[in-house]
Amino acid sequence: MDQVNIGFLGAGGIARAHAYALKALAFYYPETPAIGLVSVASARPESREAFATRFGFSHAESPEALTSRTDIDTVFIMGPNHTHFGHFRAALAMKGIRRIYLEKPVCSSQEEEVAMVGLAASARGRVDIQVGFQYLQTPAVREALAFWKSGILGKPVHFDLKYYHGDYLRKSYREKRVTRLTPAPDGGAMADLGSHGLSLLIAFLGNGLQMVHALQAGTFPDVPAGSDLFSSVALTDPMTGAAGHLSASRITAGSGDLVLLEIFAEKGALRFSSQNPDYFEYFLEEQEHWVRQPVGSHYRGITAFPSGHVPAGWLRSMVHAHYLFLGGSDPAAFVPTLTHGLEVQRLVRETAFHLTRYREQILQIKKNHP
């Protein structure tokens, strides 16, 4: 296999996770390309230089310098949300570029969404693009998706998805993450966490989900009103008539890192919880009982390192996402293309619109009932 020469646009926490996943690939998969860590770029020289030294990158430089290089064929875009579109456009223009891994959100405005469609069209067949919805590669989610796609449960009737954190309840935590407290759709709980939930719903139910309503809750003096701390959206699937809710929270005490997906269908139901990541559950009306389906960290037919029955972890799904991104074969995988990322972003953007309308309604109610 030819060596893959990689550049990182971003040197924060998620970049560290990607560096880990790249270094771990060879342990999980018998055939992986050699990895060349060419350069890392970020706005602050001290952060990129420390990152390069710690994780073995040959160069540390500005984003402009990195995207001017000719010895990089693969770019990971992981900077602040508002930089994603500009970095994506610059990466596409790089000489010799073959692959771009774009962390969510793919962009921050409707104008950027429209522009990205054109950019993606110009890159089709020349550059492989994958979006960072790693939850799709969690073993139990993969198995649950395959089970759902089998049609055993019939048409969906209603659904519910929650993605909750609680860290932003602490002022000290918020103070360290001021750049993430930007108004939706650039920032907020729906862009940060809910986008993963939307990605999961789209994988299970398909494109075309329509947003009906949104609401939000939670206020702090240091958080702009437009940066949702908790938000909930009502969605419908025009193809099947199914409807449901998705909620995202940065301020749910005791939630840890909770992802809970439930789909109720004509012939049964399915659910997955990140609190029990080693299995998913399903219910069949004709059997009248819930079945727990163990999965562990088995990627059937591809790899089971270190063992198929051991617990799965969040970083494990990222490693598999990298395996797919670098050309690995897994026909059963749901690979989040840029089209998928833009479909998620459309719903994130529409959430911002509905949340604005909701806040206006609340203000009007307060005026009418002083």
pLDDT tens-digit map of 260-306: 999 999 999 999 999 999 999 999 999 999 999 998 777 877 876 66
Structural domain contains residue 90: yes
Whether residue 101 contacts residue 85, with contact meaning beta carbons closer than 8 Å, is answered with: no
Q: pLDDT by residue (tens digit) across 214-266?
A: 999 999 999 999 999 999 999 999 999 999 999 999 999 999 999 999 999 99
By the 8 A CB rule, do 144 and 272 touch? yes
pLDDT value of position 369: 86
How many whole angstroms separate alpha carbon 318 and alpha carbon 110? 28
pLDDT of residue 16: 94
Comparing CA positions, the residue from 44, 100, 106, 47 lying closest to residue 81 is 106
* 177 shares its domain with 90: no
- Count H helices and E strands in the chain, helices first: 11, 14
Contact 270, 147 (CB under 8 A): yes
* The two three-digit tokens of residue 335, written as one number: 């690979």
pLDDT score at 282: 99
Q: Are 304 and 298 in contact (CB under 8 A)?
A: yes
Sign of torsion, CA 48 52 57 61? Answer: positive
Containing structural domain, residue 21: 4-103
| Within a domain: 331 | no
Return d(Cα 149, Cα 141) in angstroms, integer.
12
Predicted local distance difference test score (pLDDT) of residue 315: 76
* CATH at residue 43: 3.40.50.720
Whether the CB-CB separation of 196 and 138 falls below 8 Å is answered with: no
Tally of domains within the chain: 2
Residue 308: the pLDDT is 60
Using DSSP's 3-state secondary structure scheme, residue 147 falls into helix
Residue 164 counted as domain residue? yes
The 10 Å Cβ neighbour count of residue 361 is 11
Give pLDDT, residue 317.
86
Residue 332 lies in a domain: no
Asked if residue 325 is part of any domain, the answer here is no
User: How far apart, in Å, are the Cα atoms of 45 and each of 41, 61, 70, 90, 237?
Assistant: 8, 7, 21, 20, 47
Q: Verify that 8 and 146 share a domain, yes or no.
A: no
Same structural domain, 246 and 348? yes
For residue 85 the two structure tokens come to 């579109």
172 and 31 in a single domain? The answer is: no
The residue from 103, 118, 153 where one domain ends is: 103
What is the C-alpha separation between 57 and 333, in angstroms, rounded? Answer: 30
| Structural domain contains residue 203 | yes
Residue 281 burial (CB count, 10 A): 17
pLDDT at 172: 96
Q: Is the dihedral of CA 159, 200, 353, 215 positive or negative?
A: positive
| Residue 296 CA neighbour count, 13 Å, CB half | 11
Is 40 in the same domain as 84?
yes
Low-confidence ranges of the chain (pLDDT < 70): 304-312, 314
pLDDT of residue 297: 76
Q: Which of 51, 86, 103 is the last residue of a domain?
A: 103
**Would you state the pLDDT for residue 305?**
64
243, 156: one domain? yes
In this structure, the answer to whether residues 305 and 164 fall within a common structural domain is yes
Order of strands, edge to edge, in the sheet holding 258-265?
Answer: 210-217, 230-236, 243-249, 156-164, 258-265, 268-273, 279-284, 289-294
Q: Please report whether residue 98 resides in a domain.
A: yes
- 99 and 200 housed in the same domain: no
273 and 201 in a single domain? The answer is yes
> How many CA atoms are closer than 13 Å to the CA of 198, on its beta-carbon side?
34
In terms of domains, do 348 and 231 share one?
yes
Of 57, 84, 103, the residue at which a domain comes to its end is 103
> Are 141 and 69 contained in the same domain?
no
Please give the span between the terminal C-alpha atoms of the chain, in angstroms, as a whole number: 70
Q: What is the CATH number of the domain that holds 270?
A: 3.30.360.10
- 216 touches 230 (CB < 8 A): yes
283 and 142 inside one domain? yes
Quick check: is 111 in a domain?
no
